[in-house]
Structure 1
Amino acid sequence: MEAVRQRIERQVLGLTGLALGQLDLRNPPGDPGLFGPASICWQVHGDFTAMMIGGIRALLLQMLHPLALAGVWDHSNFRDDMLGRLRRTGQFVSGTTYGSTQDANWLIDKVRAIHARITGELAGQPYAASDPALLTWVHVAEVSSFLAAHLRYRNPSLSLAEQDRYYAEIALVAERLGAREVPRSVDEVQAYLQRMRPALRCDERTREVVRLLREAPAPSRLARPMGQLMLNAGMALLPPWAAVLLELRQGPLRRAMIDLGVGCTAPLLRWAVRDGSAHRARQRMGLATR
Structure 2
Amino acid sequence: MSNHNDVAPHQDYGFFGPDSVCWTVFGYPTAVSVAFQRTVVTEMFEPFLMASVADTGAVMKRPDVRYDRTLQYMATLVFGDTRSVLQASQVLVKIHSKITGIEPISGLRYDANDPEAQLWIHLTAWHSVLLCYEKFGPGPLSPEQDRQYWAECARAAEFQTIDPATVPRSRAQMRAYYDRMKPVLAARVVTQEHVEHLLDGARLMVPDHRGLRPVAEVSRVLFRTATIATLPQWMRAMAGIQQSARTDAAITLVMRLMFRVVAKSVAAQRLIIRNASPHTAPVLDPILCEVAPVNPMVRTPEQARADYGLDTPAEQYAAIRAARSGRPLPEHAARDGASPLLTFN
Is 1:203 aligned to residue 188 of structure 2? yes
Structure 1: segments with no counterpart, 5+ residues: 1-23
* Identical-pair percentage: 28
Q: Distance in 1 between matches of 2:7 and 2:74?
A: 12
Residue from 283, 291, 297 that aligns with 1:284: 291
Q: State the partner residue of 2:52.
A: 71
Amino acid at match of 2:194: V
Q: Which has more radius of gyration? A: 2
Q: State the partner residue of 1:45.
A: 26
Contact map agreement 1:47 1:278 (CA 8 A) in 2: no
Q: Distance in 2 between matches of 1:238 and 1:170?
A: 21
The 5-angstrom pairing of residues 136-151 of structure 1 reads 136-151=119-134
**TM-score when normalising by structure 2:** 0.70
Contact map agreement 1:25 1:100 (CA 8 A) in 2: no
Is 1:134 aligned to residue 117 of structure 2? yes
Contact map agreement 1:56 1:235 (CA 8 A) in 2: no
User: Residues 58 and 140 of structure 1: is their aligned pair in 2 closer, same or farther, counting only changes over 3 Å?
Assistant: same
Q: Which runs of 4+ in 1 moved over 3 A?
A: 214-220, 271-279
The 5-angstrom pairing of residues 188-227 of structure 1 reads 188-216=173-201, 217-218=203-204, 219-220=206-207, 221=212, 222-227=215-220
Q: State the partner residue of 1:28.
A: 10
User: Residues 211 and 272 of structure 1: is their aligned pair in 2 closer, same or farther, counting only changes over 3 Å?
Assistant: same
Structure 2: segments with no counterpart, 5+ residues: 1-5, 271-282, 297-345
Instruction: Tell me the SS of whatever aligns to 2:101.
Output: strand
User: Residues 157 and 214 of structure 1: is their aligned pair in 2 closer, same or farther, counting only changes over 3 Å?
Assistant: closer
User: Residues 248 and 163 of structure 1: is their aligned pair in 2 closer, same or farther, counting only changes over 3 Å?
Assistant: farther
Residue from 146, 162, 173 that aligns with 1:163: 146
Q: State the partner residue of 2:222.
A: 229
User: Residues 26 and 190 of structure 1: is their aligned pair in 2 closer, same or farther, counting only changes over 3 Å?
Assistant: farther
User: Residues 28 and 278 of structure 1: is their aligned pair in 2 closer, same or farther, counting only changes over 3 Å?
Assistant: closer
Q: State the partner residue of 2:318.
A: none
> Deviation of residue 50 (structure 1)?
4.2
Q: Distance in 2 between matches of 1:239 and 1:51?
A: 21
Aligned length: 263
Amino acid at match of 2:51: A
What does the per-residue CA deviation read over 1:75-132, in whole Å, with 9 as the maximum and x for residues that have no partner? 2421012122111121011111111111111111111111111111123210100100
**Pairwise CA RMSD:** 2.3
Q: Distance in 1 between matches of 2:22 and 2:111?
A: 28
Residue from 100, 103, 107 that aligns with 1:119: 100
Contact map agreement 2:137 2:256 (CA 8 A) in 1: no
> Deviation of residue 215 (structure 1)?
4.9
Residue from 107, 128, 151 that aligns with 2:88: 107
Contact map agreement 2:199 2:223 (CA 8 A) in 1: no
User: Residues 101 and 76 of structure 1: is their aligned pair in 2 closer, same or farther, counting only changes over 3 Å?
Assistant: farther
Instruction: Tell me the SS of whatever aligns to 2:110.
Output: strand
